[in-house]
């Protein structure tokens, strides 16, 4: 691990450091691999060519415990004789700004790089070129680069470093480097996909700032990435400044919600017409970009580059309602924008952190839309690495705070539960038992921490986020919703114990299985005694309380479950079919209604257009999921600019219900070896199609509905089977094998029946029901 020897002002962002070395290659090399990682984010070049199109490598992990490295095949770039390697390292997550306190240098204050080139020769021997103090360090045209703040580039400095990563360059004026200590046990290969630019968007409109006349481009889509300037035409020493924002206010960029994240890039001209320029080591959340210093810039001069972890898309949904299609598309865009190596809360303001609760809510949707299994596998390894000795979880993973920092709680319900829910959902959706095996002690450790912190009763003293952002909560107190945070915590404790019990069975931990099953029984009982009155009604009469009770099966018997469903439907109707739930109730409410026979109420809630509702933002022109139901008020004001984002996936978790209930496709067994096909049309929908690419191949369900007839075409992939329950009069549930199947019959929705799932599956009776009827 090497670092430059120069001194730096640690209080401000720095020009990225350019490290270079030259070496002579033996003549008989058959394979050349470059392994690299950095304290900061890096790009690597070999003989003047980029070694990959990955951005923001090595990504963000629990740096104090895990530092990922990448492997680049550079065989085609190697030449006989003299070669050169150049690696540029920017501040990145390692020592750039992180969090809302405008602080930097969380992990360290020196940029550093570790690289090893392995040249395999014809006789199998390996020749190694590695970072050592013979490498030289310099700086180039990037004068400053920070993830939150943006990047500044001075094209006048290009000439000085032209050819710097080739063997023709003279680095006589460059500085020496020195070795830094590194614990090699931290090193681990990257398993998730790299961040890449995956799409380019052209502006859809061009306006001008009323105050300054600067050009403002609208890309028609809130996205995450950066702008490319195609041949920026600026004089020598003149600077083009690009600012980015998600919304406009009075025709100007509304930057208040960004808080201290400046999201500003600068390009200073050298007099020559530059080729395309784009910042390298930063990313912004924006729909609008304002360009000053380039008055004639036209739509043809710019493009927005969409950047995120380059996961394979595996899930699609569409239906006859264009508003629902846009809602679905918004969730897809919010996932793209918030899976930039780490699954984050939001991608624009001074946060962009791996908030556990947000992912806990969105994981089932994420696992349907994109193949995020390896990314989550890596993130869960970080989560386990960040876990406290007593099993508690920090609010955010990775956790940049110093080791002695303590969060208000390390067992916040619905947030810390990501330790249990995310591996479980990932297992159910992708079928990798190995992941459960790897995570089991982290899952059980978190549950143990909850049990210890709560004691035999539920502990009201523990800090909780509660049903965060319930619309009834005051804007400045998002945890102050209608649902008692202790009720939420108790419900999650039971849910967590149920999952760990099921996971223990799957990974063969028989003793743990019995122990955690006993805890689940105990806390169900405690929860009921505390939150259900003698007459069977809820002490806390909120929609979230009922949704949790139904989905987490807290109530004991079918009649109590049915009664809770009736009350939930009443509460939803009394609220005018508007949303009355927050981060934790919202992902469950449609399932709770559907499971208890109130499908039309679920549809009425989903199709509501007045605020708060899922479709209100869509009608306001949203192109991503918002943090608050009313991030933009009906009069077009930005609601509470101190905490509002226009790109927060958590409340988009309803798309998972859309896939499973409208589309009718759920896994009936881990990894879709068997699936449940049960479309439940409602509202005024006349058709829907859902497709999912599983490890076995594509499953699809396409249905259409006329006044009286329901028709469907199904595709079931090889080596799988489906339990099929169709809304057709007289339909008997059948199990179908692979192939194409079509059915047509008289439309009739019958009350849901427990579905006969194949025997021999891992599930206990209760889990089979929850698997087929609730959010899994």
Residue (277 or 355) nearer to ligand BGC, CB = 355
Q: What is the sign of the dihedral through the CA atoms of 349, 354, 360 and 364?
A: positive
Beta bridge partners of 742: 713
Quote the least distance from Cβ 581 to ligand BGC, whole Å. 15
Residue 602 Cα distances to 14, 161, 570, 613, 751, angstroms:
52, 62, 12, 12, 14
Return the residues of window 303-362 that contact ligand BGC according to CB under 6 A.
345-346, 351, 355, 357-358
The Cα 752–Cα 597 span in angstroms is 7
CB-nearest residue to ligand BGC: 345
Report the nearest approach of ligand BGC to the CB of residue 479 (Å).
Answer: 7
361 to 400: interface string for ligand BGC, x by CB under 6 A: ----------------------------------------
Longest CA span, the chain? 86
The minimum distance between CB 649 and ligand BGC, in angstroms, equals 9
Residue 337 CB, shortest distance to ligand BGC, in Å, is 13
Q: How large is the angle between the packed helices 586-595 and 558-574, nearest 10 degrees?
A: 120
For ligand BGC, give the closer residue by CB, 346 or 373.
Answer: 346
Residue 38 makes CB contacts below 8 A (sequence gap 6+) with 57, 58, 87, 89, 92, 94, 111, 112, 113, 114
Contact set for ligand BGC, span 610-649 (CB under 6 A): 648
Catalytic entry in 22, 351, 386, 505 = 351
Report d(CA 132, CA 129) in Å as an integer.
Answer: 9
**498-537 binders of ligand BGC (CB under 6 A):** none
Listed in sequence order, the residues at least 6 apart from 541 whose beta carbon sits closer than 8 Å to its beta carbon are 567, 571
**C-alpha distances in Å from residue 364, one per residue of 54, 348, 370, 466:** 27, 24, 10, 20
Whether residue 51 contacts residue 77, with contact meaning beta carbons closer than 8 Å, is answered with: yes
To ligand BGC, the closest distance from the beta carbon of 759 in angstroms equals: 40
Eight-class DSSP state of 298: -
Gap between the Cα atoms of 664 and 702, Å rounded: 9
Least distance (Å) between residue 480 CB and ligand BGC: 12
Distance of CA 613 to the CA centre of its chain: 22
Q: Which is nearer to ligand BGC, 412 or 445 (CB)?
A: 412
Tell me how far apart the alpha carbons of residues 647 and 285 are, in angstroms, rounded to a whole number.
Answer: 8
Catalytic residue among 151, 290, 627, 767: 627
CB of 358 to ligand BGC, least distance (A): 5
How far apart CA 357 and CA 420 sit, in angstroms, is 11
Residues ≥6 apart with Cβ < 8 Å to 161: 18, 138, 140, 141, 169
Site string for ligand BGC, 174-213 (x = CB under 6 A): ----------------------------------------
CA distance 376 to 422: 8
Which residue is listed with tokens 């919600």?
Answer: 257
Residue 430 vs 468, nearer CB to ligand BGC: 468
For ligand BGC, the closer of residues 418 and 771 by Cβ is: 418
Choice between 642 and 750, CB closer to ligand BGC:
642
- Computed on alpha carbons and rounded to an integer, the radius of gyration of the chain in Å comes to 27
Alpha-carbon distance of 178 to 190, in angstroms, equals: 26
Residue 746 bridge partners (DSSP)? 709
Smallest gap from residue 97 Cβ to ligand BGC (A):
16
Task: Tell the residue number behind the tokens 């492997």, with chain if given.
Answer: 71
For 647-761, strand residue ranges (E) read 665-667, 674-677, 687-694, 697-705, 709-716, 721-724, 734-736, 739-746
148 near ligand BGC, judged by CB under 6 A: no
- Output 380 or 503, the one with its CB closest to ligand BGC: 380
* CB closer to ligand BGC, 70 vs 222: 222
Closest separation in Å from C-beta 675 to ligand BGC: 32
Total of chain residues touching ligand BGC, rule CB under 6 A? 9
Whether 246 is a known active-site residue: answer no
Cis peptide before 58 (omega within 30 of 0): yes
Q: What share of the chain is helix, strand, coil (3-state, %, to 5)?
A: 30, 30, 45
Strand pairing class (175-179; 2-4): antiparallel
* CB nearer ligand BGC, residue 246 or residue 345: 345
695 burial (CB, 10 Å; 0-12 / 13-18 / 19+) is middle
Q: Looking at beta carbons only, is 358 or 417 nearer to ligand BGC?
A: 358
Q: Which is nearer to ligand BGC, 345 or 640 (CB)?
A: 345
CB of 251 to ligand BGC, least distance (A): 27
* Residue nearer to ligand BGC on the CB measure, 58 or 585: 585
Strand duo 284-292 + 205-208: pairing = unpaired
Do 562 and 596 form a contact (C-beta atoms < 8 A)?
yes
Which C-beta is closer to ligand BGC: that of 351 or that of 669? 351
Question: Could you tell me if 591 and 551 are in contact, meaning their C-beta atoms sit under 8 angstroms apart?
Answer: yes
Q: 258: which 2 tokens?
A: 């960004």
| 560 contacts: CB under 8 Å, gap ≥ 6 | 532, 536
440 CB contacts (<8 Å, ≥6 apart)?
A: 503, 504, 507, 509
Annotation marks residue 351 as catalytic: yes
Give the count of beta carbons closer than 10 Å to the beta carbon of residue 401. Answer: 17
- Identify whether the C-beta of residue 130 lies closer than 8 Å to the C-beta of residue 2: no
Contacts with ligand BGC, 464-483, as mask; x by CB under 6 A:
-x--x---------------
Looking at residues 447 to 466 of the shown chain, list those that interact with ligand BGC (rule: CB under 6 A). 465
Residues recognised as catalytic: 351, 627
The residues binding ligand BGC (CB under 6 A) are 345-346, 351, 355, 357-358, 465, 468, 648
């Amino acid at each position: 691990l090497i670092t430059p020897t120069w001194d730096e002002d640690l209080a401000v962002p720095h020009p990225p450091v350019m490290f270079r070395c030259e070496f002579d290659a033996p003549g008989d090399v058959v394979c050349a691999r470059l392994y690299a990682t950095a304290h900061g984010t890096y790009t690597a070049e070999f003989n003047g060519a980029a070694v990959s199109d990955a951005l923001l490598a090595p990504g963000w992990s629990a740096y104090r415990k895990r530092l990922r490295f990448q492997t680049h095949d550079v065989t085609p770039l190697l030449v006989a004789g003299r070669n050169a390697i150049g690696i540029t390292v920017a501040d990145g997550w390692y020592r750039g700004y992180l969090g809302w306190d405008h602080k930097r240098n969380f992990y360290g204050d020196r940029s550093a790089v570790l690289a090893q080139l392995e040249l395999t020769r014809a006789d199998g021997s390996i020749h190694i070129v590695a970072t050592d103090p013979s490498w030289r360090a310099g700086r180039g045209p990037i004068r400053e680069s920070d993830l939150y703040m943006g990047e500044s580039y001075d094209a006048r400095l290009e000439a000085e470093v032209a050819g710097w990563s080739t063997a023709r360059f003279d680095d006589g004026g460059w500085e020496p480097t020195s070795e830094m200590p590194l614990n090699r046990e931290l090193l681990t290969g990257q398993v998730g996909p790299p961040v890449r630019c995956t799409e380019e968007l052209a502006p859809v409109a061009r306006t001008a700032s009323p105050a300054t006349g600067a050009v403002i481009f609208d890309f028609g889509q809130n996205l995450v990435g950066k702008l490319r300037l195609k041949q920026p035409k600026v004089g020598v020493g003149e600077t083009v400044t690009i600012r980015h924002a998600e919304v406009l206010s009075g025709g100007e960029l509304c930057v208040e919600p960004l808080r201290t994240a400046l999201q500003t890039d600068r390009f200073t001209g050298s007099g020559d017409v530059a080729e395309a320029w784009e910042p390298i080591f930063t990313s912004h959340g924006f729909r609008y970009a304002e360009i000053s210093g380039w008055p004639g810039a036209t739509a043809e001069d710019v493009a927005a580059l969409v950047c995120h972890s380059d996961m394979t898309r595996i899930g699609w949904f569409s239906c006859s309602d264009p508003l629902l299609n846009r809602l679905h598309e918004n969730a897809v865009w919010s996932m793209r924008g918030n899976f930039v190596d780490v699954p984050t809360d939001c991608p624009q303001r001074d946060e962009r952190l791996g908030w556990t609760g947000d992912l806990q809510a969105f994981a089932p949707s994420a696992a349907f839309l994109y193949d995020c299994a390896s990314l989550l596998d890596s993130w869960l390894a970080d989560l386990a690495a960040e876990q406290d000795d007593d099993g508690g979880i920090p609010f955010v993973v990775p956790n940049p705070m110093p080791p002695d920092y303590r969060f208000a709680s390390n067992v916040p319900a619905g947030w810390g539960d990501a330790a249990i829910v995310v591996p479980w959902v990932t297992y159910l959706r992708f079928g990798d038992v190995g992941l459960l095996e790897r995570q089991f002690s982290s899952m059980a450790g978190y549950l143990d921490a909850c049990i210890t912190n709560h004691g035999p009763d539920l502990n009201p003293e523990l800090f909780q986020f509660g049903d965060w952002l319930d619309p009834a909560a005051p804007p400045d107190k998002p945890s102050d919703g209608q649902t008692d945070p202790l009720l939420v915590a108790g419900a999650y404790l039971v849910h967590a114990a149920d999952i760990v019990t099921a996971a223990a069975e799957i990974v063969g931990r028989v003793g743990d299985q019995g122990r955690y099953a006993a805890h689940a029984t105990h806390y169900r009982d405690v929860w009921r005694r505390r939150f259900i009155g003698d007459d069977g009604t809820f002490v806390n009469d909120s929609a979230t309380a009922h949704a949790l009770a139904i989905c987490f099966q807290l109530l004991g018997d079918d009649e109590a479950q049915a009664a809770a469903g009736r009350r939930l439907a009443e509460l939803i109707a009394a609220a005018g079919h508007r949303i009355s739930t927050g981060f934790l109730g919202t992902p469950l409410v449609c399932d709770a209604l559907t499971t208890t026979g109130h499908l039309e109420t679920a549809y009425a809630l989903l199709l509501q257009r007045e605020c708060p509702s899922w479709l209100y933002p869509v009608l306001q022109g949203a192109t991503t999921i918002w943090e608050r139901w009313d991030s933009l008020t009906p009069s077009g004001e930005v609601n509470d600019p101190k905490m509002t984002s226009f790109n927060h996936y958590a409340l988009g978790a309803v798309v998972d219900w859309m896939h499973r209930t409208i589309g009718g496709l759920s896994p009936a067994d881990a990894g879709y070896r068997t699936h449940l096909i049960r479309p439940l049309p409602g509202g005024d929908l006349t058709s829907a199609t859902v497709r999912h690419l599983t490890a076995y191949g594509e499953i699809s369900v396409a249905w259409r509905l006329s006044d009286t007839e329901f028709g469907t075409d199904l595709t079931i992939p090889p080596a799988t089977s489906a339990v099929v329950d169709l809304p057709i009069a007289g339909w008997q549930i059948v199990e179908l094998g692979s192939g194409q199947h079509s059915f047509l019959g008289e439309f009739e929705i019958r009350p849901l029946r427990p579905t006969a799932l194949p025997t021999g599956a891992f599930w206990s009776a209760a889990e089979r029901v929850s698997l087929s009827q609730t959010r899994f």
